[in-house]
Amino acid sequence: MIEQFDAIVVGAGMSGNAAAYTLASQGLKVLQLERGEYPGSKNVQGAIMYANMLEKIIPDFRDDAPLERHLVEQRLWVMDDTSHTGIHYRSDDFNEAKPNRYTIIRAQFDKWFSRKVREAGATVLCETTATELVRDGNGKVIGVRTDRAGGVVFANVVVLAEGVSGLLGTRAGLREMPKPETVALAVKEMHFLPEEVIGQRFGVKGDEGCVIEAVGTISRSMAGLGFLYTNKESISLGIGCLVSDFAATMESPSALLDAMKNHPSIRPLIAGSEVKEYAAHLIPEGGYRAIPQLFGDGWVIVGDAAQLNNAIHREGSNLAMTSGRVAAEAIIKVKSRNGPMTKANLALYKTMLDDSFVIKDLKKYKDMPALLHTNSSNFFDSYPRLMSHAAQNFMRVDGTPKIEKEKNTTAAFINARSRWGLVSDAVRLALAWR
């Protein structure tokens, strides 16, 4: 007899686990497929995990989830070749009973999340790739073909949680292959150091953590971001830039990472560390305008596969978890009304997601990707250098009258961008930020 599921979830990352857990915990018959050897084996993240979005799925996750450090300090650095100009925010308020943000290690975290999915009653099959969507005569998705022998499985609805580089949706024509200008390639290393050394270097104690996010000349005029996150006994260090920029400049991602590690502001923080892991992964960065059709007859798309990633705030896993949960809640509602999983009924997922922070945030920043990507040499090279020049000019005491210093700084900005260029950049940034 052919086994029929209420839902098949393709992928066991953040979005897939959120969807599978929500569906299974409400008693639906769920099959989850993961191509990796174990959940998390294929997944890469910085990684900051936002508690609020997980609490909405597993309220007591703090009891047993593998969490590294809770964040009490965030540093935003604008870098030139020898300096950084920073905004630091640190607050003891973040030492709350239920901290707001944690660093995690995805391989461990995804395994834990997957255990919760199994405990909720879902069937999870690893080392199983969904190779094709199966449709009925009317084009409705009714299941998936897998790479297992005789491996066609059927369900009322398929949740595509296959991540940004998943091929199932693109092969089926449900979404386009991400374009080079809408995805970043990020490379990351794990630097191991004793817990107390990390504590001393970053001024944190116990399981307090600190993160540094950096833009500027480290991305060599490309639109990009570097990051350094503290775990218990390691530091995650990485950098990502748009694939189209890598192609245009022929810069090598690993050379960029090496240069970042050798920057005088970064080098002392990782000195003496042992590098045990290296990973590379894509990040969807097209924003609101790159979101594909999210639902259809018998299918929904969630997480990175749907380009639900807020590059401006460096948030992805929370959008993935939320879209997975919201898709599952929509499916549960449709089922509870005895409705078929048609395009018309699954439109509820989009309505619910539109009402969440996920779409509201992406809509707010809808013009930012284009602005940053088309002006990358200004925003990621000229301005960081000018900021450093201005800060150094302000701080260096050398007998130059302050009025002359101010004129010098103003002249540097005007020479680099012209008055009109400065006004135009400021207006465009303000309009895109609204």
Q: How far is the CB of 403 from ligand FAD (least distance, A)?
A: 44
**12: cis peptide before it, omega within 30°?**
no
> Is 286 an interacting residue with respect to ligand FAD (CB under 6 A)?
no
CB hemisphere CA count around 285 (13 angstroms) = 29
Tell me how far, at minimum, the Cβ of 147 lies from ligand FAD, in Å: 8
Q: State the minimum distance, in angstroms, from the CB of residue 415 to ligand FAD.
A: 36
Q: Does 47 bind ligand FAD (CB under 6 A)?
A: yes
Based on the shown chain and the rule CB under 6 A, indicate whether residue 238 belongs to the binding site for ligand FAD: yes
- Judge residue 119's burial from the number of C-beta atoms within 10 Å of its C-beta, 0-12 exposed, 13-18 middle, 19 or more buried: exposed
Q: Which of 69, 188, 261, 373 binds ligand FAD (CB under 6 A)?
A: 188
Residues 129, 230, 376, 409: which binds ligand FAD (CB under 6 A)? Answer: 129
* Residue 46 in contact with ligand FAD, rule: CB under 6 A: yes
Residue showing tokens 């116990």:
206
To the nearest whole angstrom, how small is the minimum distance from the Cβ of residue 53 to ligand FAD? 9
Q: Is 283 in the site for ligand FAD (CB under 6 A)?
A: yes
Residues 49-108 that bind ligand FAD (CB under 6 A): none
Stretch near ligand FAD under the rule CB under 6 A, chosen from 76-84, 173-181, 300-308, 391-399: 300-308
Among 22, 45, 230, 234, binds ligand FAD (CB under 6 A): 45
Give yes or no for residue 210 binding ligand FAD (CB under 6 A). no
Amino acid 9 reads V
Nearer to ligand FAD, 41 or 221 (CB): 41
Quick one: 71 or 387, whose CB is closer to ligand FAD?
Answer: 71
Stretch that binds ligand FAD, among 287-295, 316-324, 331-339, 379-387 (CB under 6 A): 316-324
**In the set 11, 143, 209, 216, which binds ligand FAD (CB under 6 A)?**
11
* Count of residues interacting with ligand FAD (CB under 6 A): 41
Structure tokens at 229: 């996150």
Q: Is 13 in the site for ligand FAD (CB under 6 A)?
A: yes
191 binds ligand FAD (CB under 6 A): no
281 binds ligand FAD (CB under 6 A): yes
Tokens of 431: 């309009």
What does the alpha-carbon distance between residue 86 and residue 67 come to, in Å, rounded to a whole number? 27
The residue among 31 and 387 lying less far from ligand FAD, judged by its C-beta, is: 31
Considering only 72, 107, 133, 161, the residue that binds ligand FAD (CB under 6 A) is 161
Name which position in 7, 48, 237, 269 contacts ligand FAD (CB under 6 A).
48
Least Å from the CB of residue 159 to ligand FAD: 10
Residue 16 binds to ligand FAD (criterion: CB under 6 A): yes
CB atoms within 10 A of CB 250: 6
Of these, 315, 329, 361, 381, which contacts ligand FAD (CB under 6 A)?
315
- Interface with ligand FAD by CB under 6 A: which residues? 10-16, 33-36, 42-48, 129-130, 161-163, 166, 168, 186, 188, 238, 240, 281, 283, 303-305, 309, 314-318, 320
